[in-house]
Amino acid sequence: MKITVLTLFPEMFTALEASIMGRAQKAGKFELEVVDLRDYTEDKHKKCDDYPFGGGAGMVMMAQPIGSAIEAVDPDHRARRIYLSPKGRRLDQTHVIALAGEESLVLLCGHYEGVDQRAIDLFIDEELSIGDYVLTGGELPAMVLTDCVARYIDGVLSPASLVDESFSEGLLEYPQYTRPVEYRGRTVPEILRSGNHAEIDKWRHEQALAVTRKNRPDLLK
Ligand code: 4H6
């Protein structure tokens, strides 16, 4: 899988070199290309934003650098082209799994008040939001989407983690414990040390139900 990110702030994506994401890239499982939109502007001062027609606060990202960059990185429109924005359709795990099946993705990161609508209409396949809150730019959402999708690439995660996840029945995760058995007077639940796997599975399911009822009752309906 290849992900190409279009951004005015390419330095932000050094964050994805750490940890599992860095390992996946080094192993050649996954390629991340970060493209600076400023390299594609035809403006003599390298400007990529301008005032909004109709007035209002802030600036709007110009269509030209975006169109030129997308045509340069994906000339035959093989990639799924995604615009991260607070008014996009909300991303969920089902959609992450579908996107992980794509050969390549192009992620457009908006800034300022957003992007000229013509760039979206002409060059974008879908507009996605990572949640109902507002950020200063689409870079963090693009990193979130990249991380979510990369987990499904062969060899990035252990098969056991993904199997466990698919058996969690849409509930939140049960609590986890590791050594020591006692920490500040609190001990690991006896059942987890019993070796009785049928009882452990039953306990974990009850715990998963309880935490889901408390934090996300909407998931039970
Ligand atoms: C596109 C359009 C995504 C991108 C507007 C992006 C939240 C999400 C942005 C904007 C984002 C999300 C710029 C509008 C700042 C508000 C960048 N915020 N905004 N939930 N911000 O996925 O002002």
Going from N- to C-terminal start, the domains of the chain cover 2-158, 164-220
Q: What are phi and psi of 165, to 5 degrees?
A: -60, -45
Residue position matching structure tokens 């252990």: 158
Which region holds residue 106: left if phi is over 0, alpha if psi is between -120 and 50, else beta? beta
| Residue 54 neighbours by CB under 8 Å, 6+ apart | none
The neighbour count for residue 96, using CB atoms within 10 Å, is 16
| Phi, psi for 119 (deg, rounded to 5) | -65, -40
The backbone region for 188, taken as left when phi is positive above 0, alpha when psi lies in -120 to 50, beta otherwise, is beta
Dihedral (CA of 39, 41, 46, 50) sign: negative
Q: What is the pLDDT of residues 98-145, one digit of tens each?
A: 999 999 999 999 999 999 999 999 999 999 999 999 999 999 999 999
Distance 205 CA to ligand 1 centre (A): 37
Q: Show the tokens assigned to 76.
A: 């035959």
Fold of the domain spanning 164-220: Trp Operon Repressor; Chain A (1.10.1270)
pLDDT in tens, 12-23: 999 998 877 778
* Cα(126) to centroid(ligand 1), Å: 15
Residue 171 identity? L
CA of 186 relative to ligand 1 center, distance in Å: 43
CATH architecture of 2-158: 3-Layer(aba) Sandwich (3.40)
* Pair 49, 114: CB distance under 8 Å: no
| pTM of the entire predicted model | 0.95
CB 137 within 8 A of CB 109: yes
Residue at token pair 């058996």: 167
Query: Which residues line ligand 1 at a C-beta cut-off of 6 Å?
Result: 84-86, 110, 113-114, 129-131, 133-138, 141
Is the predicted pLDDT of residue 153 greater than 90, yes or no? Answer: no
Task: Decide whether 2-158 matches 164-220 in CATH topology.
Answer: no
DSSP letter for each residue of 1-35: -EEEEEES-GGGGGGGGSHHHHHHHHTTS-EEEEE
pLDDT digits (tens, 9 = 90+) for 31-66: 999 999 999 999 999 999 999 999 999 999 999 999
